[in-house]
Amino acid sequence: MATRVLMPKGSDTMTEGKVLKWLKQEGDSVLTSESILEIETDKVNMEVEALGSGILRKILVAAGEMVPVGRTLAVVADPQEDIAGVLAQAASESAATAPPETGPSSPGVQPVEEKVAAPPAGVASTPAPAGSAPSMGQAVGGRVLASPMARRMAEEKGLDLSRIAGTGPGGRIIREDVERATADSQRLRKAGAAPGALPPLPPRAPEGPEFQDEPLSSMRKTIATRLAQSLGPVPHFYLTIEVDMRRAKELRESANTLDPELKLTYNDIIVKACAAALRLHPEVNASFRGDAIRRHNRVHIGVAVSIEGGGLITPVIRDADGKSLPQISRETKELVARARSRKLLPEEYTGATFSVSNLGMLGIDEFSAVINPPEGAILAVGAVVEKPVVVEGRIEIGYRCRLTLSCDHRVVDGATGAKFLGTFKQILENPVYLAF
């Protein structure tokens, strides 16, 4: 029976996707659940799996094309099966579908759930047997064994696959191996760079075109739409407070001394403190819903993460108020790593009730963040700065951080936001509270 491969709906906001690369070509054999192509959604890159076995009989969309959610991308069928009817249906579907817009999918597009499998968390592979050491990329016929996703990631990062240890079956290189090699490479570069060294200037272009236009990625289009939907309709106001971070600094250093693998960050402590403060001030853990204000009974905190090449995504720490600092730290690191490789699942970057955006690690002392609708607030975190402070009439060296709460005035009043920040400040300045 012929199986259609459809453009999946990778997130609630996705209306179209871009075909990045076909992993199979016309005439290739396809197995059920085998990755057949890679697409770019408004949030992540993901591989689309075949729902049936057979031959890839027809590819209907070329790499690089943008198509609406639900559009037929290809047809998988038995070699002798007549697919004329399926192709005619796909052609009429294409004609009936208006050009991609930022509205809902056009009438006539069949539900994506009909033929598209849920996106995998990564490239399917079997772990190496316990106790066996990973080997460098194994070559078969002069070609290193690696999954399609691993090959693409290595190409983007400029890594030599033959120098990467593979932990997949038979020494096959998988996504996690490339991510590990990328992290190791970055650590080596940082270790070898002189403190504060600036990169060399790129060559000038005195001749040639004055400029070049780069098409917006799906993620950047979504960011543009969401910002317009936020700053225009949402009445923002901002509250800034300065917090003494000395005890938070001591907590971080002590925890990392006891467990060097933990690598607790200020952001981990801030997320945990936010979660506790939201429990005490549920009116801030809320969102505007047109004719109602929704008070959320669970605390799901989004952590803003920048994506290489431009873009932003917010993986979510669910039930952050019920998790320990080590749990939050480890979960955040895992989500951030997969966010930057664009491999988050939809449920991992949707459903936040409050967000935190931290630019302190980039040397920014203070800024105001834009609310991510329908959330009612977002916290902008600046750098922890060593500075002279006045304590009981004398000057001391302190460690201070400036934090700005952006509030949707339809949900959070000035006094409500100020009380929340006051509690948040008290918790950060007495972080032992987080242990209870």
Residue 258 is part of a domain; what is its CATH number?
3.30.559.10
252 falls in which pLDDT band (50, 70, 90)? very high
Task: Give tens-digit pLDDT for 143-172.
Answer: 677 777 788 788 878 888 877 877 776 677
Do 345 and 389 fall within a single domain?
yes
Instruction: Say which residue the tokens 């009989």 belong to.
Output: 57
| Any domain includes 24 | yes
Catalytic residue among 236, 281, 300, 409: 409
Residue 164 is part of a domain; what is its CATH number?
4.10.320.10
175 falls in which pLDDT band (50, 70, 90)? confident
Instruction: Say which residue the tokens 């409500």 belong to.
Output: 416
- Pick from 21-25, 58-62, 337-341, 367-371: least confident: 337-341
| Any domain includes 128 | no
Percent of the chain with pLDDT over 90: 46
107 falls in which pLDDT band (50, 70, 90)? very low
Own/partner long-range contacts of 161-167 (Cβ < 8 Å, ≥24 apart): 161/137, 162/136, 162/137, 163/136, 163/137, 164/136, 164/137, 165/134, 165/135, 165/136, 165/137, 166/134, 166/135, 166/136, 166/137, 166/138, 167/127, 167/128, 167/134
**What pLDDT sits at residue 233?**
81
Do 160 and 249 fall within a single domain?
no
Is residue 236 flagged as an active site residue? Answer: no
- Closest to 162 measured CA to CA, from 170, 152, 151: 151
Looking at the predicted structure, is the pLDDT value of residue 123 above 60? no
**What pLDDT sits at residue 116?**
33
* Joined tokens for residue 351: 């459903």
Do 260 and 395 fall within a single domain?
yes
pLDDT (mean) for 96-107: 44
CA 44/CA 149 separation, integer angstroms: 13
Do 75 and 144 fall within a single domain?
no
Q: How many structural domains comprise the chain?
A: 3
Judged on CB neighbours under 10 Å (0-12, 13-18, 19+), 191 is exposed
What residue numbers bound the domain in which 393 lies?
A: 218-435
**What pLDDT sits at residue 14?**
81
Q: How far is CA 378 from the centre of its chain?
A: 17
pLDDT (mean) for 123-130: 37
| Any domain includes 193 | no
Strands 301-303 and 354-358: parallel
Do 222 and 352 fall within a single domain?
yes
φ, ψ for residue 261, nearest 5 deg: -75, -20
Looking at the predicted structure, is the pLDDT value of residue 297 above 90? yes
**What pLDDT sits at residue 92?**
80
Strands 236-244 and 286-288: unpaired
Contact between 175 and 343 (Cβ < 8 Å): yes
- Closest to 163 measured CA to CA, from 148, 153, 176, 173: 173
| Any domain includes 209 | no
Do 104 and 144 fall within a single domain?
no
Residue 70 is part of a domain; what is its CATH number?
2.40.50.100
**What pLDDT sits at residue 244?**
96
Instruction: Give me the helix-helix angle, 266-280 and 414-429, nearest 10°.
Output: 130
Task: Give tens-digit pLDDT for 380-433.
Answer: 999 999 999 998 999 999 999 999 999 999 999 999 999 999 999 999 999 999
